Structure formats: structure tokens, C-alpha cells
Structure 1
Amino acid sequence: MNTMDSTPQTIPATDGYPLGATFWAAAGTPQGVVVMHPATGVPQRIYQAFAQFLAARGFHAITYDYRGIGASRPKTLRGFAARMRDWMLLDAEGVTRWARAEYPDLPQLAVGHSVGGHGIGMCGAGWGLAGAVLVACHTGNSRFIRQRGERWRVELILRGVGPALARLMGYVPGKRMGLGEDLPGGVAIEWGAWAGMQRYFFDDPTLGAVERFNRVTNPVLVYGFDDDPWATPPAINALTQHFTNTWVERRQIARAEAGGAVGHMGFFRPKFVDTLWPGLADWLAAQAAAVRVPDAAEAA
């Protein structure tokens, strides 16, 4: 696969903030448009190979960076005002609206990785999707982590070191800490606050997450992996149980079935192009076909 059919884009969030994005054109007649919502602090380049794969399977694909990350990062994160809710309610919303406005006659679909799946549930523009896939998506409560050492480490980062550094430095130096990209301070502070709530952000009265998830009516496919230390089945259940007005299909994948270690971040690695990716693409194609209306030429 190559990048010849990819085009850089600047897509406005709903408040006008410019988001760095990439459009991947479908090979042949497009069967739908897939917006890929990234994980926390994960730049869109991590999803490049998967976007190319979807394009080869006949989907337009859109990758993007949340504000403060990758191509959407300002010159400095010190003093940069951004919260985690902004990624869901402003950024995911803006990209979804852009895709629908650009391709109104094509089925709209979404793939969310980790917090990207939260955005799918929260994003009002996504409530009319043909289908959505959640990969390694869960609530950020450390009590669901089985390994005691990992549970303590995550708790320390989310509720201790992360918020403290955010208040001290104005951002979290994730790259130097081995945590991926640097994070805006407000993102880390809000993330830590939610992590301390019994039901994560569903207990935040300023967010309305329960009501938002209830408004999702499109089919939802959820992937979990047996070797993911964070998105354990109980942690996934704590999130997906709030999709109360739609059909949710669960796929829990063992390492042997995947053909290698997946963990929390591995699904989008090219080594799974022949094992994990086709099943997801087939599901998207089925949802797109279920809602697609033939044009005049096809009908004739």
C-alpha cells in the first residue's frame, strides 16, 4: 500500500479550532466514509496503515489529531486551554460533521480506539451513523485492571503524577515519561478527575454522558483482547452497558486467534492485516450496504 491517494486536510472543530487531518480516498466506487477517532495522546500516523487498508477495501477514510496532539498541536502546550471533553464534544463532532457535509450520499461510519470510542458515544453528529466499531474502549477506572502493579501504576499516573505535572508545568510531558504524546494540562486534569469517579465520566453531572450514550441507535461492534491490561471485559462492560437503545456485538479476541500479542495499542499494527482487519472491514461493509440507497444508474 502507498500514500499516493492521501490528502492532508484542515478540518474545523465545532468551535472553529483547526484540526490536522488526512483523507484517504477509496479505491474504486466508495461504499462509505469511515472517520477514525484516535486514542488518548496517539497521533493519527499510528492509524495510517489501517486507513490505507480501508481505502483499498472501498471506503473513504479520515484520520485526524485531537487538539493539542500531533498535527493539531499549537506551538506550545503551556497555557493551552483544552479538556478531554473537548476532544469528544468539539473535535470528534467537527470531523464527523465535515465527513457528512462532504459526502452526504454515502453511509457514515466510525472506528474509535480507546477514548475514540467515548467520542462516538458522546458525539451528537454521530448519532445517525450506519455503524460504529469500538476497539479497546473502556471506562478509565483502575479497579478493573487485574494486575496489582499495573493498577497502582495507572492510578499514580491518572490521579497523581499527571494532574500534578499539568498544574505545575501547564501540560504533561508524555514523551519524556514514555506515555506517548505530550498532553494538554486540562486534558490530564479532567481525565484524572473522571478516573476517581465510580462510573467514570458517567458520574460527571456537567457532561450528560448517560443521556448521550442513550441516543446512539446505530449498530455497535466492540473489540476486546484477552491480553489488554486496561480494557478488560468488566471495564468494557462498564462503558458499553450505556448503549441502551441499540444492538451491541462483542468480539473478545484471544492472542492465539489474533496471531500475536495485541494488548491495548496493537490492533492497528500492520501485522494484523490478514487476521484482525478483514473482519472489521467486512462488518463495516455490511452496515454500509444495509443503509445505502442505490443511485439512479444502479437502480436502472
Structure 2
Amino acid sequence: MEYNTRHNLGSSVVADDGRELPLVTYEPAQAPVGVVLVVPAMATAASFYEPFCRWLAEQGFRAVTFDYRGMGGPAQMRAETADVDRWFADAALILDAVADAADGLPITWVGHSLGGQMVPFVDHGRLAQVITVAAGDGYWRRNAPRIKWVTPLLFAVVAPLAIRVAGYYPGSRLRMLADVPAGAMRQWGRWCRHPEYLQADHPEAPGLFASVKAPLMSLSFEDDELLSAESIKHLHDWYVNADQVRQRYSPAQLDGRRVGHHGFFRKANVDLWEELVLPWVASAV
């Protein structure tokens, strides 16, 4: 399918410190009926969301996604100084650019994992609605059982040593998560060891979450290898003033299919996009 480029959204956004933040935009063949901003999970490249974004464009929506600072090869990882707060600030700037170019079209935020945690830190008043996918708080005691007791060792021993040796966290080589810049990994580890997660650095977070009033749909899966049902509930309970629909699926409900933490965005699950995502985003049009 051919995609046009009829929009005034540039190929990048210039951050407040001068850094260019590249955008990946998928434009429908006809004038878009809405805009979807796909906000990645930790250590997940924008290219991972290409099938989902292309499908959104085929449904008539402009789809936009991006990489967090530092995503790339080892040299880029070592040179990166950003922490997770910097990623949040970048996402806020990107939303502003997407909204400015939307010409009044409704904007849906699709936040995968980390992307579902940062809504309170952006101008969410510009959002028509929010979809979170496999998003929970990261406190280690609320992790999925298979990783719960490994996580303290990861953040207290493995990650600091690996960062000292490699200059970044080489998770893909260690087969423990994926590659993450040092500053982001250190801050995330601090959050994951705090019972209220990002409130370790953001005591103001409850008020920020309470300020979110956009309708919100949470999608989660029982076979998520990272987050438990308790973790997902804990995060979404902070969104006290958002009208919420929470949907959680077992493999049995999906004909034995495994979805896990990342699988929802794989092309094999297009039927779930049609059943769960399309009615939601279309409802704002």
C-alpha cells in the first residue's frame, strides 16, 4: 500500500536542549480521520511497531511513533546521558508536535508498558483517549513470579557491574531484558526498588495521575512474563479520575495463543487489533 505524506508534521522534533528527535509517521492514502501516537516500551525500537502502525494507516489513521534517546548500537548507548525523566520530557514534546499538526483530529495515545506510565507527564488534555498495553508499575515485588526474585539481584549487582564494564546496560548479551542507556537503567532500577515505583523521584505523581481525565482502556495478558495482574492494577488505580475499561486475557480466551509482554503488536495478532483497538480509536472520530 502506498502512503502519502500530506501533513505538516516534520520528520523530527527539536527538543529543548537542541537534540533532534526523529519521528516515524505512517500516513493513510486518504485524509486521516484521526491520529494515533504509539509510545514504546522500555528498550523497544520504533521499528517493532511498524506492522501495527501500517495497519492503523490502512484503517485511515495517521500513526506516529519514535525511538527513545540512546536507542541504537553500543556506541550510541555509551554516549547517551538520558534518564527516564528525559524520555518523558521528549514524549511530551513529541505529543505537542503531533497535536499541533493534527488540525483538530482526535489523538489516541497507545502506550506500551513504559508508554502507559508517562501519560501524566505530558499534556494529556490534548488526548481524546488512551490505550495502555501491558502497562503496570515496575516495583519488583509486583513482578511476574518467574522474574520476581531475580530482579533485586539484577538492579543491585548485575546492572551496576555490566554498566561499569560496557558503559551501558547490555541486556541483550546478558539475556536479561534488552539494551538500555546507563542513566535510564539506573533511574529505572531505583524506581523498581521503591514500593510506589516512580514516586521514588516523583512524590507529586499521585496528583499528576489524578489529573488525567481522558477515557482509558487497559489491555493486559495473563501470560505476561514481566508484569503481574497486581502490577497492572496498581498502576491503573493511580488514574483515579479517568473512565477506564480494563480488559485482561488468558491464553485460553485466545485459542491458546501466547501474547506475553510484547506479542500484542506482532502482525499475527491483527484480529485483536480489529476487535479491541479499532472500535476504541474509531469512537473518537
**2:131 counterpart residue number:** 133
How many Å apart are 1:159 and its aligned residue? 3.8
What root-mean-square deviation, in Å, do the aligned CA atoms of Structure 1 and Structure 2 show? 2.2
| Distance across 1 between alignment mates of 2:204 and 2:165 | 30
Q: Deviations over 1:23-46 (max 9, x none)?
A: 000243312111110000000111
Q: Deviations over 1:255-275 (max 9, x none)?
A: 133341001111001010013
**1:117 counterpart residue number:** 116
- Determine helix, strand or coil for the equivalent of 1:158: helix
**1:80 counterpart residue number:** 80
Q: Deviations over 1:133-190 (max 9, x none)?
A: 000001111212342x421223322343123323454311123223565211100100
| Distance across 1 between alignment mates of 2:95 and 2:247 | 25
**2:55 counterpart residue number:** 53
Contact 2:34 2:106 in 1 (8 A): yes
**1:294 counterpart residue number:** none
TM, length-normalised to structure 2: 0.90
Shift in alpha-carbon separation, 1:165–1:47, aligned structure 2, 3 A: same
How many Å apart are 1:60 and its aligned residue? 0.3
- Determine helix, strand or coil for the equivalent of 2:24: strand
Match of 1:227 among 216, 223, 226: 223
Identity %: 31
**2:172 counterpart residue number:** 175
How many Å apart are 1:14 and its aligned residue? 4.3
Shift in alpha-carbon separation, 1:29–1:257, aligned structure 2, 3 A: farther
State the AA in 2 paired with 1:24. Y
Q: Deviations over 1:211-253 (max 9, x none)?
A: 2211111101001101113222210111111111211110011
| Distance across 1 between alignment mates of 2:125 and 2:157 | 35
Q: Give runs of aligned pairs for residues 18-57 of structure 1, distance below 5 A.
A: 18-57=20-59
TM, length-normalised to structure 1: 0.86
**2:151 counterpart residue number:** 154
| Distance across 1 between alignment mates of 2:16 and 2:118 | 14
Shift in alpha-carbon separation, 1:214–1:167, aligned structure 2, 3 A: farther
**1:217 counterpart residue number:** 213
State the AA in 2 paired with 1:49. P
Shift in alpha-carbon separation, 1:276–1:35, aligned structure 2, 3 A: closer
Contact 1:144 1:230 in 2 (8 A): no
Contact 1:41 1:182 in 2 (8 A): yes
Shift in alpha-carbon separation, 1:146–1:178, aligned structure 2, 3 A: closer
| Distance across 2 between alignment mates of 1:277 and 1:166 | 41
| Distance across 2 between alignment mates of 1:6 and 1:231 | 38
Contact 2:99 2:126 in 1 (8 A): no
State the number of aligned residues.
280
- Determine helix, strand or coil for the equivalent of 2:272: coil
Contact 2:124 2:214 in 1 (8 A): no
Q: Deviations over 1:182-206 (max 9, x none)?
A: 211100100111111111012434x
Shift in alpha-carbon separation, 1:238–1:159, aligned structure 2, 3 A: farther
Match of 1:187 among 184, 187, 191: 184
**1:257 counterpart residue number:** 253
Structure 1 segments unaligned to the other structure (5+ residues): 290-300
